[in-house]
Amino acid sequence: MENQHDIEKKVMSEIVSGKVKLRSKYIFLAEKLGLRSAIILSVLLAILFFNLALFYLKESDNLGYLSFGSRGLFAFLESFPYVLVISFIIIIFVAGYMIKKSGTVYKRPFGYVALGLIGFVIFGGMILAFTDVADRIEQRTFGPGPGFFFRPFLGPGLDERQRGIVGRVIEIGDRYIVIQTPRDTQRVDVASLEVPFQGYLAPGTFVIAIGERKGDLFEARDIRVIDDQEQRIIRRGVNRHFGPFDVQPPGRLFMN
């Protein structure tokens, strides 16, 4: 059995021969700082993506379909921000894995690390929701500049739906209305409304409806007027595509 002196001589000979290379403490420090920087970046991205998810749910048409009850469920599922939420989950998992690997929470169960991280990210995202960060990102996403990076995450908020529709009314007929959506002008058939519409419509009014798309026609089953401060992603998308609606002809009581 080798004694300590023999082991030391063997190690030194390996170092001298180049088989074992010494690494500077600065290299270890750089690796540590690199991992910590990656952790901080991942946590900040998770907070940002959580904030964007809250913004999408609040300002797109997604939650609006739930106001129709169970009849709006399919439209809700169709407009849900799956890419945004899945990306958020992946970032959370990666951040948690790096925190565990860094040894910062040595011998802590990964489940506890994940729960603590999720709680911190949710808190940070809710604080960020009181700022206009998400609004600025959304406006730059569909305009000039580097905001196109976020288009895969916020872009679905302007996509065409098969079971729901939101837009600005520009024409009112006896059994139909014509609306402007962020994508195009759409004729909406309201002859088969399951719930009688009780309200006042005028050109320039924004409405949300559930039903079914059949070719170039959307057959509405229920329709509602939305408030001026609701679904701003849709409103800004319509304004970008068609411009502001300045003319306000007399409205009318819509009957079906």
pLDDT on residue 167 = 95
Do 152 and 164 share a structural domain? Answer: no
Do 135 and 109 share a structural domain? Answer: yes
Specify burial of residue 51 (Cβ count, 10 A radius: 0-12, 13-18, 19+).
buried
Does 120 reside within a domain? yes
pLDDT on residue 96 = 82
Instruction: List pLDDT tens digits, range 184-207.
Output: 999 999 988 887 776 778 889 999
Helices 232-242 and 25-59, packing angle to 10 deg: 80
Does 106 reside within a domain? yes
pLDDT on residue 237 = 92
Q: What total number of domains does the chain contain?
A: 2
CA angle 111, 116, 118 (to 5 degrees): 95
Among residues 156, 183, 203, which one ends one of the domains?
156
CA distance 114 to 108: 10
Do 229 and 141 share a structural domain? Answer: no
Domain ranges, residue 208:
160-253
Do 85 and 71 share a structural domain? Answer: yes
* Positions in the chain whose pLDDT score sits under 50: 1, 11, 15, 19-20, 22, 24-27, 29-30, 253, 255-256
| Token couple for 38 | 């990656």
CA distance 53 to 95: 18
Contacts of 113 (CB under 8 A, 6+ apart): 96, 99, 100, 105
Among residues 156, 190, 206, which one ends one of the domains?
156
Do 217 and 147 share a structural domain? Answer: no
Among residues 106, 134, 156, which one ends one of the domains?
156
Q: Are 146 and 196 within 8 A, CB to CB?
A: no
Size of the chain, expressed as the number of residues it contains? 256
Read off the pTM.
Answer: 0.78
Does 172 reside within a domain? yes
pLDDT on residue 145 = 67
Do 240 and 193 share a structural domain? Answer: yes
Does 76 reside within a domain? yes
